[in-house]
Chain A
Amino acid sequence: ETGVTQSPTHLIKTRGQQVTLRCSSQSGHNTVSWYQQALGQGPQFIFQYYREEENGRGNFPPRFSGLQFPNYSSELNVNALELDDSALYLCASSSSGAQPQHFGDGTRLSIL
Chain B
Amino acid sequence: GENVEQHPSTLSVQEGDSAVIKCTYSDSASNYFPWYKQELGKRPQLIIDIRSNVGEKKDQRIAVTLNKTAKHFSLHITETQPEDSAVYFCAAGGYNFNKFYFGSGTKLNVKP
Which residues in A have some Cβ–Cβ distance to B below 8 Å?
Answer: 31, 33, 35, 40-45, 48, 50, 55-56, 58-59, 90, 92, 94, 96, 98, 100-106
Contact = CB atoms under 8 A, between A and B. Distances in A.
Given A56-B98, A59-B1, A92-B97, A103 B43 contact: yes
Given A43-B89, A105-B42, A56 B103 contact: no
Nearest to B106: A42
Interface in B33-61: 34, 42-46, 49, 51
A40 to B, nearest CB: 8
Contact of B44 (A43, A48, A55, A59): A43
A33 B99 CA distance: 10
B59 to A, nearest CB: 13
A33 B97 contact: yes
Contacts of B98: 33, 48, 50, 55-56
A55 B49 CA distance: 23
A43 B102 contact: yes
Interface of B: 1, 4, 6, 32, 34, 42-46, 49, 51, 89, 91, 93, 95-105
B97 A105 contact: no
A55 to B, nearest CB: 5
A56 B43 contact: no
Nearest to B93: A45
A42 B105 contact: yes
Contacts of B97: 31, 33, 48, 56, 92, 94, 101
Given A43-B44, A92-B97, 4 more contacts: A42-B102, A44-B102, A48-B96, A98-B96
Contact of B103 (A42, A48, A50, A102): A42
Contacts of A58: 1, 99, 101
A107 to B, nearest CB: 12
B99 A45 contact: yes
B93 to A, nearest CB: 8
B99 A41 contact: no
